[in-house]
């Protein structure tokens, strides 16, 4: 399920961006054969990554399913921490879960600290994941959940650029800016994906 979603963008005769999975020979806007571009085709960077390949990050995914195929805006999100070796830690109903790699193939990863903080990052996540506080018995969907686990981790980490009083503060600083870009990508990807079956190559035009 680790897809490699492809969305290509180019401009031909005007400022309209054309999105597609494969660059056509004929411009869908002006119907002329494409000899040169106003903007050369380029592939939009896929914002969704395999968590274990993104060490020393905080990672986010839908609680159920994955972003590319299942996510809708009302779905709950789940958050975890990746250490410098690619081990993934998360807190959920069963307590602290380590290295459930297959659930994290398609997530958003947030860089929080500079590289020099890696050792301290690892020590801190080890310490907190062994703390009895994060047990199955203590889990509460509303008051002691995956977000509390990550916020407490960041508090203990004590990096000045990443101290948050609440989940909302954390989301405002890190999640929302990246999330908005990711949603744009997701919308384009899905529209291209679903129409493709019926129309062959399919194009979307968006004004610049
Ligand atoms: Zn054209």
With respect to residue 2, please indicate whether it lies within any of the assigned structural domains.
no
Strands of 8-11's sheet in order across: 39-43, 8-11, 17-20, 204-206
* Intervals of the chain under pLDDT 70: 1-3, 195-203, 205-208
Three-class SS of residue 47? coil
Say what the pTM is.
0.87
Check the CA dihedral 165-121-68-142 and report its sign: negative
Show the beta-strand stretches assigned E in 33-154: 39-43, 57-62, 77-82, 88-92, 95-98, 108-111
Q: Are residues 130 and 194 in the same domain?
A: no
Q: What tokens were used for 116? A: 């020099």
Q: Give bridge partners of residue 49 from the DSSP assignment.
A: 107
Q: Give bridge partners of residue 89 from the DSSP assignment.
A: 81, 98
With respect to residue 35, please indicate whether it lies within any of the assigned structural domains.
yes
Q: Are residues 147 and 77 in the same domain?
A: yes
Question: Tens digit of pLDDT for each residue in 183-192?
Answer: 999 988 888 8
Q: Give distance in angstroms: CA of 12 to centre of ligand 1.
A: 5
Q: Give bridge partners of residue 92 from the DSSP assignment.
A: 95
Residues less than 5 Å from ion ligand 1, measured at CB: 12-13, 27, 29-30
pLDDT computed for residue 49 by the predictor:
95
Q: Give bridge partners of residue 2 from the DSSP assignment.
A: none
Rg over CA atoms, the chain: 21
Domain carrying residue 23: 8-44+187-206
With respect to residue 93, please indicate whether it lies within any of the assigned structural domains.
yes
pLDDT computed for residue 28 by the predictor:
85
Q: Are residues 130 and 171 in the same domain?
A: yes
The domain tally of the chain equals 2
Q: Give distance in angstroms: CA of 188 to centre of ligand 1.
A: 20
Q: Give distance in angstroms: CA of 36 to centre of ligand 1.
A: 10
Q: Are residues 120 and 25 in the same domain?
A: no
Q: Are residues 55 and 20 in the same domain?
A: no
Q: Are residues 64 and 162 in the same domain?
A: yes
């Amino acid at each position: 399920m680790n897809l490699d979603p492809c969305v290509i963008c180019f401009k031909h005769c005007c400022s309209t961006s054309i999105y597609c999975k494969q660059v056509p020979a004929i411009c869908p806007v002006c119907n002329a054969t494409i000899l040169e571009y106003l903007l050369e085709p380029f592939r939009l960077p896929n914002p969704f990554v395999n968590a274990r390949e993104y060490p020393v990050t905080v990672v986010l995914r839908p609680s159920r399913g994955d972003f590319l195929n299942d996510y809708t805006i009302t779905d709950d999100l789940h958050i975890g921490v990746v250490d410098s070796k690619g081990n993934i830690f998360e807190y959920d109903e069963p307590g602290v879960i380590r290295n459930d790699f297959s659930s994290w193939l398609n997530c958003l990863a947030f860089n929080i600290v500079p590289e020099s903080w890696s050792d301290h990052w690892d020590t801190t996540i080890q310490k907190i994941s062994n703390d009895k506080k994060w047990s199955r018995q203590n889990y509460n969907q509303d008051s002691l959940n995956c977000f509390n686990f990550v916020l407490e981790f960041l508090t203990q980490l004590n990096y000045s650029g990443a101290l948050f009083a609440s989940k909302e503060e954390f989301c405002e600083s890190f999640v929302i800016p990246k999330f908005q870009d990711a949603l744009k990508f997701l919308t384009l990807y899905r529209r291209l994906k679903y129409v493709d079956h019926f129309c062959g190559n399919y194009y979307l035009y968006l004004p610049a």
